[in-house]
Chain A
């Protein structure tokens, strides 16, 4: 017979404390993340110009996506600026991701290579990560004074004194390339650290074996590091893509005066501007619809990346396994011919 103490121990379930402890997170999450998410979807189908909008259906999506008629300036304005934003977002993201991943990968490989005995690795890692710590507002301010349109900006004082100043901030490709550069500069350290942890996760003995077998560093990279790094790369691609589609701060702040430069206006800036354009009559509907469109695009691209990067061997293996089971079952029933 169990003593009273034993019985009590049996009946104590610690699970509920676990739930209690994680409860605050879920409450906060529901109020500040889940509800806004649902609210965005509701707003996407709601009218514009009021703070208490009623549901109107698909009109906002129609305005943004459908080709508007010639004289309808409102639809033209919204349609055009959304697609302009989309174009800019894609251009700037692609232009920042490719150099960024190349640079990060190169540095990650160098920093983790056992044969490269670089002094002060930690120092470089910190320095390279540093831009990410600076707030975007300061970065924008810094680059505005470096590359500003004014004849007094650093670049124009250095190279264009007495001549017509370069107008990088307001030019089309100048401003785009500048934003790409800023994004690369801000994020390559972060990506590098992520890739380094990926490389360090690869079994050391593989590298050693390769070295013993006489593989040079290029072969080691393409045959070992790169294939085994794929999962981390996919993760980087995906997070960068989600972040890139929502790119907001630098494009929004890199301008003088009151108006955001059209050539670097991203979809996120469009979303922000639509409901801020008129303080008294905010266009929540268009902003919501644009956000939902962005959400859908992100989901599709995410699914696509996973589809392309799926483990083909494993899938093949599974398929074969299933077939084998089917075959076996058929045989159990007594040959494949009698149905």
Chain B
């Protein structure tokens, strides 16, 4: 009897102890998961030949670039096993990924219910940190989405990203994409690690009804005359105020900065040194002028107010880029959704200066265990002209394929309901070919941008008195980030 009690006590103790450990999640399960994944990969080894053959057959049937693949050493063969249950795509928002999955599985019946979206964080900045934690755990991770602001962190780290050649892609497969997307997706050693499905040129999206009423502009071309460069843009803003209309021309300071920063000629960092050029001063002064005179609204970008101004005549328009214009996106929110107060009352023009905003790349996790689906998924959205075109029309997305976009523009088949039936691609197609972000992005862009926008908005609001004080504040903030030197 006593022995039984002892045994019971021991079991109870062990149970308590083990539950205590179980609760401790990610970090402790690392060891386990590596063991697991080893076991998996050895199992995968066996099934590899099989799946490789399969994928070869398939790609031979579908892919016309088979030959170029063969030429590329290391490419051509899908080295990633197909043992996983589902293809998990990690992102911080379902806006894109869920639509992509819908479109992809719709066209590929065999993958129905085999692709899932995994939410990691609610903002890009969060996801940036969460990914590393997520990968350390044992959960399934196949593809994940990277943002232009911090893509360099990940693609230059082999622990987190595997080359796309592992999936059987050759560099030449991406010849049909916008070259800048390919160069951003290439790491410091020249290995292609990530592919983008979108190009992200932007324009000025304005209220057609108000433009006609206040400015007499009836078409986007006429409106463009009022916003053709920054001086004209400012003059128009001034005219509106002088006429007694309480309406801003630009949506938020954050939005203005997106346009402005694109026209910087240098990256934020030269090596690891912070670069502060004339653009900073010009922008700070412009921001102050706009803020003080009501040429820009006093709302914050990404706040609820940002969308609300789109419906109550507080702003003539927004600076929006391609990914802001699809269904369920920022423009849709600004219009109050379908049936909203200003639904369809917007048009797009090129705006004061060409610009592009961000962009997202698909990267391959080294833990990927759905090589075949992953390959097809990446191919579907980046390499294949026809399917990319299909998706462009499906999501109103500016896909990363000039040929597909050209075809859509020529056909004139795209009608964006949010823009009252206007085809935004015809306006943005020109701008897209001019995008040159090469060498202008750094791994620290999001933090530097945040730091700069914070001081500029304080300067605009008068909380910081002079430009020099503002720059000192900015330098102090930027210098806090490890890896940046400031002089």
Which chain A residues have a beta carbon within 8 Å of chain B's beta carbons? 17, 20-21, 23-24, 27-28, 32, 48-49, 71, 73-74, 76-78, 80-81, 145, 148-153, 164-165, 167, 170, 256-259, 273-274, 276-283
Interface residue from A76, A165, A278 paired with B483 (Cβ < 8 Å): A278
Whether B9 contacts A20 by the Cβ 8 Å rule is yes
Given known contacts A148-B303, A150-B303, A279-B132, A73 and B476 CB-to-CB distance under 8 angstroms: yes
* B129→A276 contact, CB < 8 A: yes
Bound together, the chains give a CA A145 to CA B302 distance in angstroms of: 14
Q: Is the CB of A76 within 8 A of B24?
A: no
Contact A150 B302 (CB under 8 A): no
Mostly, the B contact residues are helix
* B298 engages A278 (CB within 8 Å): no
In angstroms, Cα B447 to Cα A24, docked, is 42
> When A152-B304, A256-B303 are in contact, do A23 and B17 touch as well, CB less than 8 Å?
yes
Q: Are B479 and A73 in contact (CB under 8 A)?
A: yes
CB of A23 within 8 A of CB of B13, answer yes
Cβ-based interface call for B235 (8 A): no
List chain A residues, Cβ under 8 A from B475. Answer: 73, 77
Contact assessment for B479 and A20 in the assembled complex, using a CB-CB cutoff below 8 Å: no
Q: Total contacts A to B, CB within 8 angstroms? A: 117
- CB of A32 within 8 A of CB of B24, answer yes
Question: Which residue of chain B is the closest to A261 with respect to CB atoms?
Answer: B454
Most buried by B among A49, A73, A276, A277: A73
Given the known interface contacts A27-B17, A278-B444, the answer about A257 and B480 at a Cβ–Cβ threshold of 8 Å is no
Nearest chain B CB to A15 CB, angstrom units? 13
Determine the chain B residues whose CB is within 8 A of the CB of A145 once the complex forms.
Answer: 304
**Interface residues as binary, B152-166 with A (CB distance below 8 Å gives 1, 0 otherwise):** 010001000000000
Is B301's beta carbon under 8 Å from chain A? yes
Docked complex Cα distance between A167 and B478 (Å): 26
Q: Is the CB of A256 within 8 A of B129?
A: no
* Contacting pair B20 A24 (CB below 8 A): yes
Q: Mark B457-487, 1 if CB is under 8 A from A, else 0.
A: 0000100000000001001111111110111
Contact: B153 with A279, CB < 8 Å? yes
A-B contact pairs, 21 of them (CB 8 A): A17-B9, A28-B20, A48-B482, A73-B479, A77-B476, A77-B478, A149-B305, A151-B298, A151-B308, A151-B314, A152-B305, A257-B300, A257-B301, A258-B450, A259-B450, A259-B454, A274-B480, A276-B129, A277-B482, A279-B153, A282-B482
C-alpha spacing A28/B157, complex, angstroms: 33
A224 to B303, CA, bound (A): 53
Rounded to whole angstroms, the CA-CA distance of A148 and B300 in the bound complex is 11
* A49 lies within 8 A of B305 (CB): no
Q: A77-B476, A148-B304 are in contact. List 8 more A-B contacts (CB 8 A).
A: A28-B21, A73-B476, A74-B486, A145-B304, A151-B299, A259-B453, A274-B480, A279-B150
Cβ contacts under 8 Å, A151 to chain B: 298-299, 305, 308, 314
Closest 3 interchain pairs by CB? A150-B305, A77-B476, A73-B479
B60 CB–A CB distance under 8 Å: no
Query: Is the CB of B254 closer than 8 A to any CB of chain A?
Result: yes
Residues from chain B with Cβ under 8 Å of A165 in the complex: 298
Interface range on chain B (Cβ under 8 Å from partner) = 35 or more
Q: Please indicate the chain B residues that have their CB under 8 angstroms from the CB of A80 in the complex.
A: 476
Q: Are A277 and B481 in contact (CB under 8 A)?
A: yes
Q: How far is the CA of A201 from the CA of B347 in the complex (A)?
A: 72
Q: Which of B21, B304, B482 contacts A278 (CB 8 A)?
A: B482
Q: How far is the CA of A177 from the CA of B451 in the complex (A)?
A: 25
Bound-state Cα–Cα, A319 to B469, Å: 60
Check: B193 CB closer than 8 A to any chain A CB. Answer: no
| Distance (whole angstroms) from the CB of A226 to the closest CB of chain B | 43
B480's partner among A78, A152, A259 (CB-CB below 8 A) is A78
In the complex formed, the residue of A with least CB distance to B303 is A256
Cα-based distance from A149 to B487 in the complex (angstroms): 35
Q: Collect the chain A residues with CB atoms within 8 Å of residue B288's CB.
A: none
| Chain B 1-34: CB-based contact to A (< 8 A → 1; otherwise 0) | 0000000011001001100110010000000000
Q: Can you name the residue of chain B whose Cβ is closest to the Cβ of A274? A: B480
Q: Which residues of B contact A278 (CB under 8 A)?
A: 444, 447, 481-483
The docked-state distance in angstroms from the alpha carbon of A90 to that of B482 is: 27
Q: Which of B422-466 contact A (CB under 8 A)?
A: 443-444, 446-447, 450-451, 453-454, 461
Say how far B152's CB is from chain A's closest CB, in angstroms: 9
Are B443 and A256 in contact (CB-based, < 8 A)? Answer: no
Q: Is B265 an interface residue (CB 8 A)?
A: no
How would residues 63 to 94 of chain B score, 1 for a CB under 8 Å from any chain A CB and 0 otherwise? 00000000000000000000000000000000
With both chains docked as a complex, state the minimum distance between the C-beta of A100 and any C-beta of chain B, in angstroms: 30
Query: In the complex, what residue of chain A is closest to B10 when comparing beta carbons?
Result: A20
Partner of B300, one of A27, A149, A282: A149
Question: Which chain B residues lie closer than 8 Å to A77 at the CB level?
Answer: 475-480
Chain B residues within an 8 Å CB radius of A28: 20-21
